[in-house]
Chains A and B, each alone.
Chain A
Amino acid sequence: MLNYILRRLGYAVIMIVLVSFVSFVIIKLPPGDFLTQKMEQLRARGDRSAEARIEEYRIRYGLDRPFIEQYTGWVTKFIRGDFGESFEYERPVKDLLGERLTMTVILALATLIITWVLAIPMGVYSAVKQYSIGDQLISIFSFIGLGMPGFLLALLILYFAIVVLNQEATGLFSQQYVDAPWSVERVIDLLKHLWIPALVSAVTGTGGLVRIMRGNLLDTLGQPFVEAARARGLKNSTVIWKHAVRMAINPLIVILGSEAFPNIITGNALVSIVLNLPTIGPLFVESLRKLDMYMAGTCIVFFTMLLLIGNLAADLMLAWADPRIRLE
């Protein structure tokens, strides 16, 4: 077991190094860099000392050195916990990400809890009462959720909130609470804003989970061990929740690790941009557009890490939940 984990971790490290290198190459692909973009801006503004200042920046950020040197320099610093400096904000990437990390994680966890708390009972109900009206309604809802892209739904809900409810709907806090210390009013204000991202994830996130839960449980309910449990005279709820669901939930564990966990940071960047949420997603997109390469590179490396760790965690959890599965 330990052997297996070590091998997977070693594999993950190689993968991360490769990904970081390739993402560095990709960011370097377009002609010019952040500074050429900035120089154009300064020139357009009629700044005469533009060239000299840009040259100064170029040396400060090490952009004058050859590509490989830039990469190795960044990687060695990265291992020591220094992710480089964002050109755009002229501040360390670490601080910028750190500021947004709390909100990103809170939002991701809230999303996760909402989708799972909704999806599992809905899936179970749908399977137990197959072809009932409730099942049909849940099926329609989950098909809509499966097809519905989050950022379009967010746009529509935003329209509803702004035009119909006449509510200020973007961001997580109203103006006066953005920098205020935590208080009861601030939490209430947060909840007033949180319902939109919550609703978006409830619609788009649950669809797939409900379908999987329903399908698996239907398969499980037809198996002899469920019949045996019934024959022993166990209560219906015990048979369903302790015997059938316990078995049918395994594939969802894989999804929890491989999708939900990496989403803590990727967490629907598009929805966050529409709703102007203070998470890491919009920061990342902005950095790609501006060729802010240390910021973009750091984000990509973290996404990949979470994805790989999530996959490993999913496999381990599955082995723990279902002893018949062998990892070797």
Chain B
Amino acid sequence: MAKQPKNAQSKPVSQSYWSLVWWKFKKNKLAIVGGIILLVMYFSFVAIPEFIAPYALERRSEYTEARPQTIRFVDQEGKFHLRPFVYGLERKVDMVARRRSYVEDPNRVYEIFFFTKGDPYKLFGLIPTDRHLFGTNSDDPAASVFIMGTDSLGRDYFSRIMYGGRLSLMIGLIGQFLTLLLGSVLGAISGYYGGTVDIIVQRLTEFLAAFPDIPLFMALAAAIPTFWSPIAVYFMLTLILAFVRWGGLARQVRGLILSLREREYVLAAKSFGADDSRLMFRHLLPGTMSHIIVIATLSIPGMILSETALSWLGLGLRPPLTSWGVLLQEAMTVYAIRFAPWLLWTVPFLLIVIFAYNMLGDGLRDALDPYGAR
């Protein structure tokens, strides 16, 4: 990004396109907030979830479907403690409903410490360590801290949401990247060369558009063999998401290229002897960049949601892979909603990501047209 002069009004210097964009973007507070939320979320969910989560992904405890433990500062006598603490969980069996549940036992107090030792892991996949952001710092297995409860196997749900975020958030980025690659290259070729290539690409996008997209997703995802390794399933799913969605983008890029192709600067470049690839990648595609960025930002949430929906239906990722959609599978039954509603904690995280992307994308759309009146 070019540096913004302190007083843009008094210095009539000409501004580059990108510095104008940045200037306009900065004024949109909602977009800035969205961008910061996304940066923080991507950093904590993709880079360091092992550190933030108090437990390892598959670490089981004896507390199955335990309710969340409230983090407290004030004890029973009404005394305020600077160090937060939780009450221990105690099993209670409801003979009538034949259910086990857990209640907090105010007599067992476990203080929460920061940067405690816990399950070992490798930070960034490289540095072996066992420090976690918070925990009870006790070897007693009853000294648990489940701030969002546990699932039916007694695994800490907050930790699972942290790990699940990595796959869910990454599939949005990787899938969108592949979509962009497919859509912009095919769109550009089709718009630039015209003729037979154009007709083939056009018909292909029309055919994809004629397929109702949710059923197409489902049908393709259902075709992933069940015996494939989880990683292969993950990449296949990403490919499917990209494959279904590139058509719309290709059409828009094609339209833009068609209009740019006739501009004088392209003619000038051509007369200087620029070859096709130079024209396309140096002169034409950059012209469509701002448009592509906006579309990309606004369609990443759709990508993330498609993965969530497919995995949740049992057509996408499967355990042992953990994504937010896989986590939601457990929250699907009326039984779960009634007796273990904390399994819905995944939903707020998803919604925050989606709204943050929408806020950012909206700001970008306004900013990338800095010459516009709005």
Contact = CB atoms under 8 A, between A and B. Distances in A.
B212 interface: yes
B169 to A, nearest CB: 16
A163 B215 contact: no
Contact of B314 (A23, A31, A158, A289): A289
A273 to B, nearest CB: 7
Contacts of B214: 266, 269-270
Interface string B202-244: 0000010011101100111011111000000000000000000
Q: Which of A159, A169, A266, A284 has the most CB of B within 10 A?
A: A159
Interface in B308-325: 309, 312-315
Given A143-B358, A300-B215, A151 B341 contact: no
Interface string B148-177: 000000000000000000000000000000
Given A147-B358, A163-B337, A15 B222 contact: no
A106 B347 CA distance: 29
B18 interface: no
Given A15-B207, A147-B355, A30 B212 contact: no
A269 B351 CA distance: 20
Nearest to A169: B334
Contact of B344 (A30, A147, A156, A307): A156
B344 A155 contact: yes
B309 A270 contact: yes
Contacts of B225: 30-31
B298 to A, nearest CB: 10
Contacts of A151: 309, 312
A156 B347 contact: yes
Nearest to B344: A159
A62 B337 CA distance: 43
Contact of B338 (A19, A144, A162, A308): A162
Given A162-B334, A266-B214, A274-B332, A18 B222 contact: no
Given A159-B341, A289-B313, A299 B207 contact: no
Interface in B323-374: 328, 331-332, 334, 337-338, 341, 344, 347, 350-351, 354-355, 358
Interface string A281-295: 000110011010000
Nearest to A161: B337
Interface string A1-27: 000000000000001001100110011
Contacts of B219: 23, 26-27, 288, 296, 300
A274 B2 CA distance: 49
Contacts of A169: 334
B253 interface: no
Given A149-B354, A151-B309, A288 B341 contact: no
A307 B344 CA distance: 34
A27 B334 contact: no
Contacts of B344: 155-156, 159
B301 interface: yes
Interface string B272-316: 000000000000000000000000000001000100010011110
Given A149-B354, A156-B347, A285-B218, A27 B210 contact: no
Given A159-B337, A159-B344, A299 B215 contact: yes
B203 to A, nearest CB: 10
A311 to B, nearest CB: 9
A147 B328 CA distance: 19
A304 B207 CA distance: 11
The number of chain B residues touching the other chain, given as a range, is 35 or more
Nearest to B301: A147
B212 A300 contact: yes
Contacts of B315: 285, 288-289
A147 B354 CA distance: 7
Nearest to A282: B313
A289 B358 contact: no
Nearest to B306: A149
A279 interface: no
B334 A170 contact: yes
A152 interface: yes
A50 interface: no
B222 A291 contact: yes
Contacts of B358: 143, 146-147
A163 B335 CA distance: 11
Interface string A137-159: 00000011011110110011011
Nearest to B30: A143
Contacts of A274: 332
A152 B351 contact: yes
Given A26-B223, A30-B224, A266 B313 contact: no
B210 A15 contact: yes
A162 B340 CA distance: 12
B215 A27 contact: no
A177 interface: no
A299 B216 CA distance: 11
Nearest to A29: B223
A213 B363 CA distance: 21
A125 interface: no
Given A143-B358, A147-B354, A30 B222 contact: yes
Contacts of A155: 328, 331, 337, 344, 347
A71 interface: no
14 contacts: A22-B211, A27-B219, A27-B223, A147-B354, A163-B338, A170-B334, A266-B212, A270-B214, A284-B218, A288-B222, A289-B313, A291-B222, A307-B210, A308-B210
Interface of B: 207, 210-212, 214-215, 218-220, 222-226, 301, 305, 309, 312-315, 328, 331-332, 334, 337-338, 341, 344, 347, 350-351, 354-355, 358
Interface of A: 15, 18-19, 22-23, 26-27, 29-31, 143-144, 146-149, 151-152, 155-156, 158-159, 162-163, 169-170, 262, 266, 269-270, 273-274, 276, 284-285, 288-289, 291, 296, 299-300, 303-304, 307-308
Q: Which 7 A-B pairs have the closest CB atoms?
A: A29-B223, A303-B212, A288-B222, A147-B358, A26-B219, A30-B223, A15-B210
